[in-house]
Amino acid sequence: MRSEMIRLYKGVHTWTGILTGMALFIAFYAGALTVFKAPLNGWAEPPAVRSPLALDEAGRLVEQVVAMGVTDFTLHLQQNPQRPWPLTWQPRGESEQRYARFDEAGLLETGREQPTAVGELVDLLHQTAGLVPGDLEIGITLMGVVSLFYGLALISGVVVLLPTLVKDFFAVRPGRNRKRFWLDSHNVLGIVSLPFHLVIMLSALVFAFHDPIYDLQDRLVYGGNLQQHWDAGGPLAGLERGPEPASMLSPQQLLTHARQAAPHFEPHTLTYLHAGKRGASVIVRGLDERYPQRTVEGGLLVLVAGTGATLNDSYVPGQGPVWDSLISLFFALHFASFGGYWVDWGYFLLGLTGAALFYTGNLLWIETRRRRARQAGQQPEQTRASRILGALSVGVCLGCVTGISLSLASAKWLHGWGLPSQNWHITAYYLVFLACVGWALWRGAARAAVDLLGLAALATLLIPLASLLAWFWPDCPWWVHRDWTSLAVDLVALLGAGLLAWLARFTVRRLHAAAPDGIWTLTAIGSDKRVEDAR
C-alpha cells in the first residue's frame, strides 16, 4: 500500500480517536458494569423478606390485585434477591414501585419500595457517556455520532496496521521507548477485540438512529401512518379492548398454554395488560438457552388472558421468521444475552479492555507530539493541546471510575442514614466526575494521575467496606446480602480497589523516572520549571 495512503488513514485514525476516545472510555467502562446490572441493583437495595408463592396461590393473588383496580402488573414466577416480591407494578407518574404478597396469615399485603438508581446510572452512562445529563434521547443521538467516528477509527486503524500486522502482532516491547510500548499495547488490544468492537459499533449506530430513520420512513413511505402499520402487525394486534369486566385463566392454565405453544420456553414472569377487562393479554417472558436471547430477560410470548390463545409468538427464541432471528442475534451480541455467566464475564473483560484501548490511544497522541530536549539542561515547552489532553484523559477516565464507585458505595450509607437516594446516585456521580476533571486540569496530568488513582482506589474500597461493617456489626444501619451474587460484587470491588492502589504506586515510580521533557513527569512541568515541592 502506498505510503501516502497509509499517512491519510493514520491521520483519520488519530483524529477520530481523539474526538471520541474519552466518551467511549466512559461508555465501555459503564457498559462492562451494565452486564451485571441486576446484581448491582440487588447489592444496593436493602434486603427484603422473600415470600415464596405457590403457583396455585398465584391465581388468588392476581384476583385480589385486580379487585383493587390494578390492571397492569407483573407476576414473578422465580424469586431471588433482585426480585423478592411475587407481584409488582409501577403506577404511572410515580417513582416508587408497588408490590403485593400474602402475609403469614394468608391476607393480602401491599407496600411500596424505592428502587435504587445504581443500575440505571451505569446504564445511562453506557448509553450516553453522560454527555447530556437529564436528556436520554439527545445523549443517545450524540453517542450515535460518536459511534460514526468510532467506526472510522476502527477501519482506518486496521488499514494502518495491515502492512506490519504479521510482524507486530502480539509484539509488546517494554523499555525506555514509551511510545513503542503504548503503540504495541494499543495494537494488540485493538486487533484481538476487533470483532467485538465492530458488533458494538454497528449495534450502537442502530440504537442511536433508529428513531430518526423511522421518522423519515413515516414521512416518505407511509404518509404518517407508520404507527398504524406497526399496530396492525404488532404483538397485540387483533385484540379489541373494552371497559367491560371479563374472566381470565389462572396462571397455571396460562403456563400450560405457553408450554404447548413453545415447549422449550422457560417462563419467569407473567406481565398482565388490561387485566380483568375485555381484551386482556398476558406477556409471558422467559428463556430458551438453545438460542440467543433478544434481551437479558429473554424472549416473550403473548397470550390472550381469557382463552390462552397465542396472540404472537414471533419473539419466542427460535420460532420467529429468519429476519427476527437475525435481529435477535444482533441484540444478543450487544447485550451479552447468550451463553450464561461465561459470556457475561467475557463481555465484562472486553468492556474493560475496550476502555483501556481508548486510554492508550490518547497516550499515543501525547507521546507522538511530545517535544523532546535538544541538548542537556534545556527542556522545551510542551504544547498546550498535549497538556490539556493529558489532564483531560486522567480527569475524565479516573473521574468516571471514582464517580461510579462512590455512587454505588453510597447506596447503603444513604439508606442507613434515612436519606433519599433516588436522585443521589446521578448527582453524586456528576459532582465527583467534574471535581476530578477540574483537579486534573489544575494539577496537571502527572500529579493528578497519582491523586485520582488513590481516590478511585479509596472510593472502590468503600463498596466492600460497607458490607464488611454490616457483617461484623449487626446493629449498624447498613446491611449485607448473604448470597453469592452480592458477595461477587464485593469481591470484584475489592480486587478493583487493590488494582487501582497498585497502579497508583506504580505510577509514582514511573513518573519519578520519566524523562523531564514531557508532561508525564514529577520533576518538570512546562519548560524548565522545577517542581521539587511535588515530592
pLDDT one-digit tens code per residue, 434-473: 999 999 999 888 889 999 999 999 999 999 988 887 777 7
Cα 389 to Cα 197, 225, 375, 518, 520: the distances in Å are: 24, 48, 26, 13, 12
- State the pLDDT at residue 16: 81
Residue 321 domain flag? no
Residue of 498, 225, 518 lying closest to 369 (CA atoms): 518
Instruction: Indicate the DSSP class of residue 36.
Output: T
| Together in a domain, 520 and 437 | yes
- State the pLDDT at residue 28: 94
Q: How far apart are CA 259 and CA 277, in angstroms?
A: 24
Q: Is the pLDDT of residue 422 over 50?
A: yes
Residue 19 domain flag? yes
Residue 286 domain flag? yes
CB 303 within 8 A of CB 245: no
Among 149-158, 386-395, 513-522, whose mean pLDDT is lowest?
Answer: 513-522
Residue 269 domain flag? yes
Percent of the chain with pLDDT over 90: 23
Residue of 486, 498, 485, 484 lying closest to 412 (CA atoms): 486
* Confidence category of residue 535, pLDDT binned at 50, 70, 90: very low
| Together in a domain, 510 and 527 | yes
- State the pLDDT at residue 256: 93
Q: How far apart are CA 385 and CA 390, in angstroms?
A: 8
Q: How far apart are CA 110 and CA 87, in angstroms?
A: 10
Q: Is the pLDDT of residue 153 over 80?
A: yes
| Together in a domain, 299 and 444 | no
pLDDT digits (tens, 9 = 90+) for 65-103: 999 989 999 999 876 655 667 888 988 877 678 888 887
CB 286 within 8 A of CB 78: no
Compare 472 and 31 and report the one with higher pLDDT: 31
- State the pLDDT at residue 81: 54
- State the pLDDT at residue 532: 37
Q: How far apart are CA 368 and CA 519, in angstroms?
A: 12
- State the pLDDT at residue 416: 58
Among 44-53, 75-84, 142-151, 464-473, whose mean pLDDT is lowest?
Answer: 44-53
- State the pLDDT at residue 486: 80
Residue 489 domain flag? yes
| Together in a domain, 388 and 293 | no
**285-299 average pLDDT score:** 82
* Confidence category of residue 139, pLDDT binned at 50, 70, 90: confident
**174-183 average pLDDT score:** 61
| Together in a domain, 16 and 148 | yes
| Together in a domain, 481 and 425 | yes
State whether the Cα torsion 137-140-141-142 is positive or negative. positive
Residue 332 domain flag? no
Residue 283 domain flag? yes
| Together in a domain, 466 and 514 | yes
| Together in a domain, 250 and 299 | yes
pLDDT digits (tens, 9 = 90+) for 205-217: 888 887 777 777 6
**119-134 average pLDDT score:** 86
* Confidence category of residue 317, pLDDT binned at 50, 70, 90: confident
Total number of domains constituting the chain: 3
**393-422 average pLDDT score:** 81
* Confidence category of residue 1, pLDDT binned at 50, 70, 90: low
| Together in a domain, 419 and 500 | yes
| Together in a domain, 15 and 149 | yes
Strand partners, 163: none
Q: What is the pTM of this model?
A: 0.83
Residue 335 domain flag? no
Q: Are strands 266-273 and 108-113 parallel, antiparallel or unpaired?
A: unpaired
Q: How far apart are CA 407 and CA 193, in angstroms?
A: 30
Cα 486 to Cα 474, 483, 489: the distances in Å are: 17, 6, 5
Give the domain extent around 527: 379-535
Compare 31 and 368 and report the one with higher pLDDT: 31
- Give the type of residue at 297: E
Q: Which residues are within 8 A (CB) of 402 and not within 5 positions of it... i.e. 6 or more apart?
A: 432, 433, 436, 452, 455, 456, 459
Among 116-125, 197-206, 217-226, whose mean pLDDT is lowest?
Answer: 217-226
Q: Is the pLDDT of residue 529 over 50?
A: no
- CA torsion, ordered 394, 118, 488, 505, to nearest 10 deg: 20
| Together in a domain, 425 and 482 | yes
DSSP helix/strand/coil, 479? coil
Q: How far apart are CA 148 and CA 205, in angstroms?
A: 7
pLDDT digits (tens, 9 = 90+) for 246-278: 999 999 999 999 999 888 889 989 999 999 999
Rounded mean pLDDT of the chain?
Answer: 80
Residue of 284, 281, 300, 301 lying closest to 241 (CA atoms): 281
Among 18-22, 30-34, 462-466, 478-482, whose mean pLDDT is lowest?
Answer: 478-482
- State the pLDDT at residue 524: 46
Q: How far apart are CA 257 and CA 253, in angstroms?
A: 6
| Together in a domain, 436 and 490 | yes
CB 47 within 8 A of CB 481: yes
